[in-house]
Amino acid sequence: MRLSKVQLKSIEPLRDDLGNPIESPDIYAARVQRLLPNFPEPVLAQWFQDHSGVIEEHSGLGYHSLRFQLVSIGPAELQLPCLAEHPTVIQYREYFLQGASSYRMRRLADYIAEHHTWPIPPLVFDNPDGRFVASWGLKYSIPYDLLEGHHRMAVLYALGKHTQRSHQVWLVQR
């Protein structure tokens, strides 16, 4: 079951004139979990509240049908082209390696250098057979597609931490 346009609008984060969220993550999650009880609070905060425009963009996934599982993925999965060669991850990684990093990327680099993993697990869509295609034509990668966490992934790859151990991700399944 897909959410209506009105329902999609109702789960948009409340923002100030500059586009910054005005609800705390826990208040936002409590409000949205009434409509999407299958979404863990951290997922709502990092995906929907932190990223403008993604609610409508990914609505074709069928939010009511999604399941979220916190899992560890290791170097083998992180070497898969669908993650390692994701165009946005490559772009951010190259940007970082060329020394033109933002405050966000420097903060991530400091955290990853110290803890050898990212501060918040990215969201990875499980699409093993490649059957799922977005309503507007986007073909999700096989067997995984990175929904959220492009900066974290880019810095992890740039620092070479993807080959050293497992890292937690939110595995999103339909």
Per-residue model confidence (pLDDT) at position 130: 87
Tokens 């490559």: give the residue. 90
Residues 96 and 11 both lie in one domain: no
Residues 59 and 84 both lie in one domain: no
Provide the residue range defining the domain that includes 109. Answer: 68-173
Residues 93, 116: Cα–Cα separation, whole Å: 17
Helix (H, G, I), strand (E, B) or coil at 150: helix
Per-residue model confidence (pLDDT) at position 76: 95
Question: How many domains, the chain?
Answer: 2
Number of CB atoms found within 10 A of residue 92's CB: 24
Q: What is the pLDDT of residues 30-65, one digit of tens each?
A: 999 999 999 999 999 999 998 878 898 888 889 999
Q: Which residues of the chain have pLDDT under 70?
A: 1, 136
Cβ burial of 34 (10 Å; 0-12, 13-18, 19+) is exposed
Per-residue model confidence (pLDDT) at position 22: 94
Q: The pTM is what?
A: 0.92
Residues 41 and 79 both lie in one domain: no
Angle at 24 between CA 19 and CA 29, to 5 degrees: 100
Residues 74 and 144 both lie in one domain: yes
Per-residue model confidence (pLDDT) at position 138: 75
Distances (CA, A) of 124 to 4, 76, 138: 24, 15, 16
Residues 73 and 55 both lie in one domain: no
